[in-house]
Amino acid sequence: MQGLKALLHSMVNSFKDLLPIVLVVLFFQLVVLQEPLPNVVSILFGLLLVVLGLTFFVFGLEMGLFPIGESMAQSFARKGSVLWLMVFSFCLGFGTTIAEPALTAVSAEAAEVAAEGGMIAMTDESMQSYADGLRLSVAISVGLAIVLGVLRILKGWPIQWMIIGGYIGVVILTGFAPEYIIGVAYDSGGVTTSTITVPLVTALGVGLASTIKGRNPMLDGFGLIAFASLLPMMFVMVYGMIAV
């Protein structure tokens, strides 16, 4: 019964989150465009599905992914196995990114545009190889980014200087990378921080910072996502330099 109440509460919150979007669409459709909504029944049914999907997703995160991420981080910290913690961090970043649907879509589109622009051969094999290389570059970079973020938590390094240094590297690489890869590289930083990566990586950081003495979960537990957005931009630009 308690779980059912929590689920209903999560559903109400999901509807509240979607309400501003619904109001904006209704305002522009009815007031600005002054046209009736097409297929009202279909739209309402779709909205219901969105609310249900968002509800179950958020509820599942709170019930499953956040606790397991925090508990595994705490277990590694208690055992004092830095090596296995680093291996786990890399595998977590790599695994969640390589399966990210948004990254798959961006990689496939980039390969198609590169083929049309004459950068690679207009064959399925070449485009698939280019897309796979792009996905691997991003996934490896996110894995290394999570390792770097975990090291920051362990050592207590200031995040602002690391982020500033990283973006200086991005700016420098932008001057040398091929023009056609720059936009893809910048977008790659965004598509890595999506539905599965964010909750697991955040739980990892918070759980680790909560276990280590002298670390504040609020100050040290967050920031891993920033590294996961930063490094892919650099790696994809390097990939663009050597892939063609």
Contact 96, 138 (CB under 8 A): no
Confirm whether 118 is domain-assigned.
Answer: yes
pLDDT for residue 62 is more than 90: no
Centroid of chain to Cα 110 = 18
- What value, to the nearest 5°, has the Cα angle with vertex 134 and ends 131 and 138? 140
The token pair at 152 is 């920051």
Taking only the tens place, the pLDDT of each residue in 181-237 is 898 889 888 877 766 677 778 888 888 888 877 788 787 888 888 888 899 999 999
Co-location of 120 and 237 in the same domain: yes
Share above pLDDT 90 across residues of the chain, in percent, rounded to a whole number: 16
Contact 241, 178 (CB under 8 A): yes
- At 195 the pLDDT is 67
Domain total in the chain: 2
Q: Where in the sequence is the domain holding 41, given as residue range(s)? A: 1-64
- List alpha helices for the chain, DSSP H: 2-26, 40-60, 66-79, 82-98, 101-116, 124-155, 159-176, 179-191, 197-211, 217-220, 224-243
- At 1 the pLDDT is 64
Contact 25, 19 (CB under 8 A): no
Confirm whether 206 is domain-assigned.
Answer: yes
Return mean pLDDT, the chain.
83
pLDDT for residue 10 is more than 80: no
Confirm whether 73 is domain-assigned.
Answer: no
63's CB contacts (< 8 A; 6+ apart) are none
Confirm whether 183 is domain-assigned.
Answer: yes
Co-location of 92 and 60 in the same domain: no
14's CB contacts (< 8 A; 6+ apart) are 51, 54, 55, 58
Among the residue ranges 63-67, 143-147, 202-206, the one predicted with the least confidence is 63-67
d(CA 181, CA 243): 11
Co-location of 189 and 115 in the same domain: yes
